[in-house]
Structure 1
Amino acid sequence: MQRLAGRIILLWGWRRALVAFLAGALAVLGQAPYDFFAACFLSFPVLVLLLDGAAGEAGAGPLGRLKPAFAVGWWFGFGYFLAGLWWIGGALLVEADSFAWAMPLAIVGIPLVLAFFYGFATAVARLMWSDGIGRIAATAFGFALAEWLRGFLFTGFPWNAIGYAAMPVPLMMQAVSVIGMNGMNALAVFVFAMPALLAGRRHIWAGAALAALLVAADLGFGYVRLAAPEPPASRHLDLRIVQPSVDLSEKWDASVRDRIFATMLAMSSEPPQKGHEKPQLILWPETAVPFLFTERPDALTAIGDMLTDGQMLLAGAIREEGPATAGGDARYYNSVVAINDQGEIVDAVDKVHLVPFGEYLPFDDLFSRLGIDQFVAGPMSLSAGSSRHPITIPGSIQAALFICYEVIFPQLVGVDVASSELIVNVTNDAWFGDTPGPYQHFRQAQVRAAENGLPLLRVANNGISAVVDPRGRVVDALAINARGVIDVRLPIWRQDTVSAGQRTTNGFVVIILLVATSLIAIATTRLRAN
């Protein structure tokens, strides 16, 4: 082991970059749909050993001394994000004639940019480098800080945060309800990197004991929380999730819109599945309505005719608002509209966190002059909603709605569900086909349920649609590319969790403890050297 470790430490040039790249790519196996988290116990120790050998030249300035460590982290991140996000390019093939040219930008460009976060992580870690367990804590601190920044800088994109690799099943998800994603990211890297101690002689047994204690605490807390009896349900909700699996090549084709809409109505009005009651609530996916209601008011009449007394439909739709001034342009929103049994829109929630280049074009004046428009989504550029509020659904239940990838932002969800009893996530992952993308998206939504102690209803055009209980367990689901409905009688109960703010605080306490461990290790090393 020490001989192999020595070879890794002494790598330089393209060999060091290649090993870092491969280690990052290997770490993706810890994410859905693979869930082979054991791969991280190899990739992160390799990263630590590469950082052991990433000392800068003695005569270089502060930034120069960190350059080798930054390069190691950047190559690790490039491998991680390239292997984990390559499927994004599939969205550009839906309209290949117009957007195939941009595939290199999506497949390679996004990982190139995101890799800077992991380069930052390893540079920060190298600032606190020592021997033994101190460098493990420094690595975990650097990655926890980088993942936190990745959640909000440049609009934020915390997809495939390292902590998800430590939560492949509900048993291992429960701790996130206490320490949040910040804490899970920190502890995941800390435990994953611990085998690097086997390459030396210091702290081996202490590290093994600490890693075992953390894993046991996570599993023990998960077991206790899952084994606890469910509290009495305050109410029950009979609901239907409709997964139509519409071909995106037809989505905005005027010649087939009526057929798509008729299919949605027919699936929604099917008799209840055996053993279930008539649904009080019906859910359609993101942008399921294939036209604007302002252009087709007869569609609302058809929906009202389909719904029976007391039923409500939550449907993903593009919502149009007329120009604020004469001669102005209309504004369009990616929305979920609530329609009652009279065919009336009684409430709506607009998507607040839009996808750059997908739903709107940042710096649109500049890009428009270059002839570049948004790459995917609908036939128009969208505006962001100003705020989000819960929608009251049958049974006077307060439902917090999140459209598409809004659900991957822990803080956004945690704040907005504070006064809600149910999380609803509508999405359209059909852009990405049967690739890892929809599975990764579903896993992150599933973790939001366990994190906030609330049931989750997820409705996707082509999957994965599912009902998830407040502890993150899947009650029922439809597979990718399946067409069908889910009928469920959902008990409404909330699993007690700490608040979103307290989870954030607890996560930073974990991060501070890692900093303290690193500083103690540095001080001990210097004392031994003297």
Structure 2
Amino acid sequence: MLRSPALLSVLLGAVAACGFAPLELWPLTLGCFAAWLLLVHRAPTFRNALWRGWLFGLGHFTVNNNWFQHAFDFQDAMPPVLGYFAAVGLALYLAVYPMMAAGIAWRFRQDRADAAFVLIFAAAWIATEYLRAVMFTGYAWNALGVLWVPVQAVASVSAWVGTYALSGLTIAFAGVLLLLWQRRWWWALPVLAVPLALQPLSYRAQPPTTGSRVRVVQPNIGQQDRNENDGERVFRALAALSGEPGPIPRLIVWPEGMLRDLIEDDYPAWIYTNDPARLRRRIAALLGPRDVLMTGGIALSFDAEDRIAGAANSVFAIDARARLIGRYDKAHLVPYGEYLPLPWLLRPLGLSQLVPGDLDFSPGPGPHAIEWPGFGPVGIQVCYEIIFSGEVVDEAHRPKLLFNPSTDAWFGKWGPPQHLAQARMRAIEEGLPIVRSTPTGISAIIAADGTLLATVPHERAGAIELAVPPALPPTLFSRIGNVLAAMVASAMGAAAIAIRRRGR
């Protein structure tokens, strides 16, 4: 097993990525992590432990983020083959975080792997995974706890402690396999007892019944299927799937990135290639008297000389009288997708954003709920904003529903199911239903306990409509947030120290 620990570390990390969507082979992931913990424990030096941790992360994040390459297929300024190097390049950085966790755990090891080693490893993983989610604007994609979305009995633990703490518990579960392999039966019991103790207290959502309805539209028009003159074709596709008005109020949601025409008035005349008032009237014609339609779009700002000063990736709400009744501006922007970091350095090197145009987006103020007549407060998280645990809800104005428009057409085959799984995790954590609308899928209506109530499959056109799912009472995590992750990590560390002192 240890004849080629470097190669084995890479392979274990790569295979461990198969536990996430779309494969969802989570038992395989647990086994790989258990073997990796043993590899780290048996490293002869601290430097060697860091090396094994980094190689594991390299294999893990390269496979986990293989969809990243697909974004380069839509960029004329850079060759698509560069996407493969970009996926590996991203993994070279992300691997630093499991490397740090491995180094911390190795410093705490003894001659034989024990519960204290496992607990320190779990606590270190929580800390380093949280750092991954916040450093350099953060990249929280597929936190380890998301592994459990297919196993709702375990995933529901995140309503109490959050995803990052559940990631630490997952390391502890893998450590249990290691302890059992070493015939240390007793130490497995405390780790297994945590999710079992929380199960009777799990939050369970009630199915939607009557009242306002939500309709999710997926036109199945990807980036490769569009050009600059396709605005009318896109609008007709969205309109055809928006349904017929009725007596029950409907919240109709369209994806991000579909409408390229401007929606707002009062811009300088030179900027318009369309009549925004006419566009809003066409949208309003699809609505019943109490309906509201939410759609992605672009908002612009101008300086005193009427030059473009900034742009926002926004969601607009339009009512049956063709009025704009609200707007949300995306706050957590995607590096290289919505802005180019260090443009003074990267542009001279020939690098650019992965989407057409050179205009960088400006961030909005952050999560906030907007009151729609007949629907109550609705929160909005655009695209990958939904992956950031503890950052999706305005704590002072808790919404009844979260809307997550996205452009998952960029994400290949693996990205859309992974994105959906992370949205389900946010629903569990916050106790809120989530509706997702994407151009090519996977669009979904998600209950407040993470259950998929309805979906439009990947790369199919369609619409789904249900009564608005009810929200749950605020979960413990929604009240306290990621302080809980720090508390769980601290408790694990304290328990590990107590075990070692008792052993002495």
Q: Normalising to structure 1: TM-score of the pair?
A: 0.87
What are the Cα deviations for residues 33-52 of structure 1, in whole angstroms up to 9, with x where unaligned?
A: 22221112311121121112
Choose which of 160, 165, 168 in structure 2 pairs with 1:186: 168
1:324 partner letter: D
2:322 alignment partner in structure 1: 343
Alpha-carbon spacing, 1:364–1:406, altered in 2? closer, same or farther (3 Å): same
Distance 2:208 2:239 in 1: 34
Matched, 1:245 2:220: yes
* Residue 262 of structure 1 pairs with residue 236 of structure 2: yes
Query: Among 391, 400, 411, which residue is 2:379 paired with?
Result: 400
Structure 1 SS opposite 2:139 = coil
Quick one: which of 59, 73, 88 aligns to 1:79? 59
Contact 1:93 1:100 in 2 (8 A): yes
- In the other structure, the counterpart of 1:287 is 257
CA distance in 1, matches of 2:309, 2:393: 32
Question: Offset at 1:377?
Answer: 6.0
Structure 2's unaligned 5+ residue stretches are: 264-271
Q: Is the 8 A contact 2:367 2:393 kept in 1?
A: no
Within 5 Å, which residues of 2 pair with 1:378-393? 380-393=359-372
Which whole-Å CA distance do the structure 2 matches of 1:496 and 1:91 have between them? Answer: 37
Q: Give CA deviations for 1:476-497 in whole Å, capped at 9, x if unaligned.
A: 1111011011111124343341
Instruction: Kindly state the Cα deviation for residue 410 of structure 1 after the two structures are TM-superposed.
Output: 1.1
- Residue number in structure 2 paired with 1:37: 26
Is 1:423 aligned to 2:396, yes or no? no
- Per the TM alignment, residue 414 of structure 1 is displaced from its structure 2 partner at its CA by 4.3
Deviations 1:190-219 (A, max 9, x none): 112222124535xx1112323432343354
- Measure the CA separation in 2 of the matches of 1:314 and 1:417: 23
Partner of 1:462: 440
**Cα deviation code 1:52-95 (max 9, x no counterpart):** 22132xxxxxxxxx211111110111111011101110111123
Q: Who is 2:244 aligned against? A: 271
Tell me the CA shift for residue 343 of structure 1. 1.8
2:348 alignment counterpart: 369
Residues 163-182 of structure 1 aligned to structure 2 (within 5 Å): 163-182=145-164
| 1:248/1:345 CA distance change after superposition, 3 Å | same
Q: What's the CA shift for 1:471?
A: 1.2
Q: Which of the residues 91, 95, 102 maps onto 1:115?
A: 95
For residues 101 and 28 of structure 1, the distance between their equivalents in structure 2, rounded to whole angstroms, comes to 22
Q: How big is the shift at 1:431? A: 1.0
2:454 to 462, 476, 480: 476
The equivalent residue for 2:332 is 353
Contact 2:257-2:407 at 8 Å conserved across structures: yes
Deviation at 1:394, TM superposition (A): 3.3
Whether the 8 Å contact between 2:14 and 2:56 is mirrored in structure 1 is yes
C-alpha deviation, 1:417, in angstroms = 7.7
Cα gap change, 1:459/1:192 in structure 2, threshold over 3 Å: closer, same or farther? same
Residues in 2 aligned to 1:372 and 1:492: alpha-carbon distance in whole angstroms: 46
How big is the alpha-carbon RMSD for the aligned residues of Structure 1 and Structure 2? 2.3
Deviation at 1:17, TM superposition (A): 1.1
2:121: which partner in 1? Answer: 139
Decide whether aligned partners of structure 1 residues 385 and 232 sit closer, same or farther in structure 2, where only a CA change above 3 A counts: closer
Query: How far does residue 31 in structure 1 lie from its aligned partner after superposition?
Result: 1.1
Normalised TM-score (structure 2): 0.91
Distance in 2, matches of 1:445 and 1:208, equals 31
Distance 1:219 1:420 in 2: 26
Structure 1 position 378, deviation (Å): 6.0
Contact 2:71 2:410 (8 Å CA) reproduced: yes
Q: Which residue of 1 aligns with 2:310?
A: 331
Greater CA drift, 289-298 or 311-320? 289-298
How far apart in 2 are the matches of 1:310 and 1:500?
A: 31
Once the two structures are overlaid, the 10-residue window that deviates more, 402-411 or 131-140, is 131-140
* Higher deviation after alignment, 66-75 or 379-388: 379-388
Structure 1: how far apart are the matches of 2:32 and 2:312? Answer: 42
The alpha-carbon deviation at position 265 of structure 1 amounts to 1.8
Amino acid at match of 2:435: L
Cα deviation, 1:495-529, whole Å, max 9, x if unaligned, reads 3412535242333222112112322343355x3xx
CA contact (8 A) 2:127 2:486 kept: no
- Aligned AA for 2:433? P
* CA distance in 1 between partners of 2:85 and 2:431 (Å): 38
How far apart, CA to CA, are the structure 1 residues paired with 2:256 and 2:374? Answer: 23
d(CA) in 2 for partners of 1:328, 1:460? 32
Shift of 1:379: 6.6
Bigger helix fraction? 1
SS at match of 2:162: helix
Q: Secondary structure at the match of 1:194?
A: helix
User: Judging changes above 3 Å, is the alpha-carbon distance between structure 1 residues 98 and 250 closer, same or farther for their aligned structure 2 residues?
Assistant: farther
- The more displaced of 278-287 and 76-85 is 278-287
CA distance, structure 2, for counterparts of residue 277 and residue 84 of structure 1: 46
Instruction: Tell me the distance in 2 between the aligned counterparts of 1:231 and 1:523.
Output: 50
**Contact 2:165–2:489 at 8 Å: present in 1 too?**
yes
Q: Which residue of 2 aligns with 1:61?
A: none
Q: Is the 8 A contact 1:400 1:417 kept in 2?
A: no
Greater CA drift, 505-514 or 73-82: 505-514
- Cα distance in 2 for residues equivalent to 1:308 and 1:216: 48
Give the superposition deviation at 1:315. Answer: 0.3
What CA distance in whole angstroms lies between the structure 2 residues aligned with 1:501 and 1:83? 35
Aligned residues, how many?
492
Q: Distance in 2 between matches of 1:277 and 1:41?
A: 51
Partner of 1:100: helix, strand, or coil?
coil
Unaligned ranges ≥5, structure 1:
1-6, 57-65
CA contact (8 A) 2:208 2:466 kept: no
Does structure 1 residue 236 correspond to structure 2 residue 211? yes
SS of equivalent residue, structure 2 residue 315: strand
What residue number does 1:149 align with?
A: 131
Query: Bigger shift: 242-251 or 191-200?
Result: 191-200
Shift of 1:427: 0.4
